[in-house]
Amino acid sequence: MRIKRILCPTDLTADSETALRYGVALARAYEAQFIQMYCQDSASDNSDGVSVKPAEVMEQALLKHADHGELKTLGWQSVVLGCDDPGDCITREAAKSGVDLIVMRSRRRPHRAALLGSVAESVCRTAPCPVMVMHSDERDWIKGAGREIGLKRVLVAYDFSDYSELALKLGLLVAQEYQAELHLLHVLPPFTLNETEISWYPLGKEGVYHKAARRLQKVVPDEAHLWCTIKNVISEGQPYREILNYAQRNEIDLVCIGAHGAGFGIQTLFGSNVDRVLRQAPCPVLVARPLRLPKEISNVLVERQSVRNCEAGAPALTAAPGP
């Protein structure tokens, strides 16, 4: 897996320390440039007379995990941008800088607050690259003062969609890199298996379970079995619950999941499976995203803002014309 640039957004609080530690460890492991970013409210002022210099605060936080010499080796760069929407701002900066991985934290919020969404969830819907999201109270696999990555078990949530195919490819790369177990989980709809005993299906026909198991077995390349232990699992129920329960029971270190890309209307209100996994996972979550060029990202963000404007009764925006 090639990672040349890592972007780590921060809000300058101690809660961002976990993402910062992971970001530095991964930049160190892949010899990648480390870009630290802070989104400053463009409407904020210093009327209270207190002047905070974000670049200095970011550097002091980073020095807890790397010395000055290593910061130079990592090509450390601090970016401070004024914006009204941190999610959009992070996505634009990632596209502009050609970032290969975004590492950021997300808060565990009450259910009522979760309806409003979070910056991490917003970024996962629009980012031009994979996004790794973590909380401060989950399973940790950065060892040895941030110089050793101890990944042992990777879970890929797979539903045969194009997005889950991206998650599988990413999971395979991670598992190969660290010789980790790969757990491949497919979740059937609730009550799918509440049928006549599977073994009683007519000769020559397969039940839903057998069909899913056979399809799941074929998605992993044969050569992957040479360097990785692979476990295929079929479950039924609500996808996010099955993913969370499986990750908890099997001490999973990293969940790989595909971003569906839909973020408006009814799914924004009640949350998607991806959002719920991000909020409640017992370990970091790696959200696979299709790679996009800066112009494509700009059009996606314009479209999203147009939806917001329409909901608020404001005029819609127009995406930039193609070349």
pLDDT in tens, 81-103: 988 889 999 999 999 999 999 99
Statement: 140-280 belongs to CATH 3.40.50.620? yes
Structure tokens at 70: 């290593």
Tokens of 4: 């040349």
Other C-beta atoms lying within 10 Å of the C-beta of residue 70: 16
pLDDT at 8 over 80: yes
With beta carbons less than 8 A apart as the criterion, state whether 113 and 71 touch. no
Decide if 274 contacts 257 (C-beta within 8 A). yes
Check pLDDT > 80 for residue 80. yes
| Cβ atoms of 236 and 203 closer than 8 Å | no
The mean pLDDT value for 147-175 works out to: 92
Q: Which pLDDT tens digit goes with each residue over 276-305?
A: 898 899 999 999 988 765 555 555 554 555
Give pLDDT, residue 43. Answer: 62
Asked which of 6-15, 62-71, 184-193 is least confident by mean pLDDT, the reply is: 184-193
**Every domain of the chain and the residues it spans:** 140-280, 295-323
pTM of the model as a whole: 0.82
Question: In sequence order, what are the beta bridge partners of 7?
Answer: 35, 102
CA distance between the termini of the chain: 32
Compare 62 and 311 and report the one with higher pLDDT.
62
Query: If you compute the radius of gyration of the chain from its CA atoms, what whole number of angstroms results?
Result: 21
- Its sign, for the CA torsion 288, 294, 296, 300, is positive
